[in-house]
Structure 1
């Protein structure tokens, strides 16, 4: 080797320059001249099975929509499965996360089967979780009647770190909405993504969550907001990132492999657990005990992902604040990620001073699937408790669940993922919104208010009667320091530090609390 060829290794400046040139040359840009054909929700649903099933009960409750809350993960899976199987004309879905695990693969298989029988399927995925999934998504997108778009995509499909480093401001905006709408008459919205941990099928992690199945006019409203996202400039057809198309053999291989996975899935413990659920025995959606109510559907517009400071009419947060202001006696907030900030902390304390009982359930350090979020939350914990807010943190060691059968999959760790509120034991908010800066500033979110005295009062009563067995009550000791109280195996425990954690976990979280800007949580 000549001396001149080895010279760069002795010249740091030239080496850095060369690396920078290589790095920048690897950066990709989003496709130009995107072929994005506009499409919209199908209004004509007469003659579909869901229309025939539900129209009589909808007609019996004019100007109302029916709401049925889904707490158990197995029930949430069953309901989605049934809606996809019974759809005859159209399926519209938007999700933040869609795993390729047992339940996620089964759901994807059912979408392909729906498309094969002539249902128009539109699937909009936030692009943050699609890394490595393009081959499967492209094959599905190549099928007749099935189209997949990704929201606010990474330009570099093979090395997403490039986008994170060079296009951070754009990439930081994500679509967190979660909806599934079938034939314009039934919809599911709430906190769940698609994956085993959300449907009680994961032996390592179980997310306590909540969705609402809704039938009637609200389904068309959810469909209209889906159209806004589907047709927005932030939604890119997955095929726009590739020059070649999947072959017919690729599609056929997918169907063969997916059919085989379905046969294996039918023999899993999870399949046995699902069959034990009462909802699995329900043959018609009209048989469910809906709460018929007025409603308010609220969501961020897709323009929120443009960045900058959007107008108030683009945002969900002001509408959520209106609901909080309307509570007169009681406010129950369930939020897995809870970083209220100074302003909202003061607001909650003032609500207590005004005579409103405020209860909050969030994750403990050990149950939080994003420990860094806990670092943001603990900045406000002392003030909240001192201000009279009743604060609880979910335990991670809950084990078997009372709402499932004997074959239920038991998980090693429990975590809170539900995002809902109960107002005055009479009405509820169910959605995707976390009480944190990310939901307020960066993510797009969706949820709905509806009245259900039965569900609202039941949630409130159950919280008071059972929460001490599932969570730590955060309170002050005689010296004004925080302590954690729970009842485990019938015995009351009082702890004086973050429960069930190691010294290293506590130090790490304490350090993050000091150094990480809150807007990054």
Structure 2
């Protein structure tokens, strides 16, 4: 909270972007097989199964990797793969990595390499050190790595919104995310291999052992101790995962055409929206001709005060459905503060608005605790679907390194829409405007003009957050 308060207190301005920006960028289409992973536990089990069957390489990129049951279990599976001779490479963003010796120990393995993206200088005194580090180096440290990427043997890769940790797969007792992953095979792997090498060999990643010192004879002591503690405390969770792995069937993948879009590392110097511009140019014709659009993002924040893509769609009478978090379900304390003032604007534009309930129950979650919406996708005309890491918010556009794919397949689009909306009445509030132009929330027989579970305390803190004028950082 201290770091975010500092960030928002000195938010960077939106960069000037010329109309011809990235006009020469060309997209390429690849053949692939796509399998929408249908449940949270299978999303984790697929990763475990791929690691156990890996023959040569495993390449990964994540924004966060938690030191909890699933995070440590998957790292242990990777260590066992490395023992068999598999070459393991992992790139992690540095925002949530401090003096993590348990993680640095793994990079001592002869077949495991871990690199850290855009590292902070402060590491041993927690968030207080990060605050002062950021205060003096904001322009350098504001850019973060947001990709979520899991590639085994250059044959199978998983893309989606999930990081690695209990809460991304329904196993947290405190709070879980409603999220989505897709398994891809085929020609689409090649451009992602190339993108990974470019990042791995860039100046923006640093070997973890140059940042976190561990004893040469540690023999994974801190990692093994941490994992042993989790195994003892949550042996029942590990048993559930093992059953899920053993019950995996051959993925029922479908043939699709896929267009990848990657960000540019030049973003670290000019903060320009490379990924956003490339994505919009890739689907420009679809945006201008779409009859229907479903946009799913956990964080609704306009770029420079405008919803340009939604305006573009609505100017062509496109039927636009926006799925996002409600004020009470958002995992960010800051996003709802700003979303509150944009809800009515979106409804006045004619957007069909669905807000995720803070008490929504996802049947594939092992624990039913607080739940947040984390899906990132766009579906145009029930045919073209976006899968990737970007939330299409200012931080994704101008600060984070992102990537994604556009899948051209009516069958795949139908699967994604069913994944998001098959339990519409249970998971979402339908929001509309009444005659007084005030929001009204509908769900079944329930109708309310009071923002559901949005308390007076929320209103007070959000008023303070809005005074920080921080939209460009969110």
TM-score (norm 2): 0.86
The 5-angstrom pairing of residues 49-448 of structure 1 reads: 64-133=31-100, 135-158=101-124, 159-241=129-211, 246-248=215-217, 250-251=218-219, 253=221, 256-257=224-225, 260=228, 264=232, 267-268=235-236, 270-274=237-241, 277=244, 280-282=246-248, 287-305=250-268, 307-310=269-272, 315-322=274-281, 323=283, 325-327=285-287, 328-341=290-303, 344-399=306-361, 401-402=362-363, 404=364, 408-448=365-405
Distance 1:493 1:382, change over 3 A: same
Question: Would you say 1:453 and 2:405 are equivalent positions?
Answer: no
What whole-Å deviation, never above 9, does each CA across 1:268-316 have from its counterpart, x for those lacking one?
Answer: 1x34544665x75235xxx3111211211112122322x3255x7xx11
CA distance in 1, matches of 2:150, 2:251: 18
- Between 1:160-169 and 1:174-183, the stretch displaced more is 160-169
CA distance in 1, matches of 2:295, 2:354: 10
Task: State whether residues 103 and 223 of structure 2, in contact with CA within 8 Å, keep that contact through their aligned partners in structure 1.
Answer: no
* Distance apart, 1:103 and its partner CA: 0.3
* Distance apart, 1:351 and its partner CA: 1.7
CA distance in 2, matches of 1:361, 1:376: 16
* Distance apart, 1:151 and its partner CA: 0.3
Structure number with the higher helix fraction is 1
CA distance in 2, matches of 1:481, 1:144: 61
> Partner of 2:424 in structure 1?
467
Higher RCO (CA < 8 A, seq sep 6+): 2
> Partner of 2:466 in structure 1?
513
Task: State whether residues 304 and 472 of structure 2, in contact with CA within 8 Å, keep that contact through their aligned partners in structure 1.
Answer: no
TM-score (norm 1): 0.79
Distance 1:90 1:346, change over 3 A: closer
- Between 1:509-518 and 1:189-198, the stretch displaced more is 509-518
> Partner of 1:29 in structure 2?
none
- Between 1:103-112 and 1:496-505, the stretch displaced more is 496-505
The alignment yields a C-alpha RMSD, in angstroms, of 2.4
* Distance apart, 1:429 and its partner CA: 0.6
Aligned residue-pair number: 439
CA distance in 2, matches of 1:266, 1:505: 34
What whole-Å deviation, never above 9, does each CA across 1:184-209 have from its counterpart, x for those lacking one?
Answer: 11111111100111011101111011
> Partner of 1:21 in structure 2?
none
CA distance in 1, matches of 2:202, 2:279: 24
What whole-Å deviation, never above 9, does each CA across 1:412-435 have from its counterpart, x for those lacking one?
Answer: 211011111111111211111012
Runs of at least 5 residues in structure 2 that lack an aligned partner in the other structure:
1-28
Task: State whether residues 297 and 449 of structure 1, in contact with CA within 8 Å, keep that contact through their aligned partners in structure 2.
Answer: yes
Distance 1:463 1:148, change over 3 A: closer
1:498 aligns with one of 442, 445, 451: 451
Distance 1:334 1:252, change over 3 A: closer
In our comparison, the structure showing a higher alpha carbon Rg is 1
* Distance apart, 1:344 and its partner CA: 4.6
Distance 1:256 1:99, change over 3 A: closer
Distance 1:372 1:193, change over 3 A: same
Distance 1:382 1:341, change over 3 A: farther
Runs of at least 5 residues in structure 1 that lack an aligned partner in the other structure:
1-61
SS at match of 2:298: coil
* Distance apart, 1:457 and its partner CA: 2.2
* Distance apart, 1:119 and its partner CA: 0.7
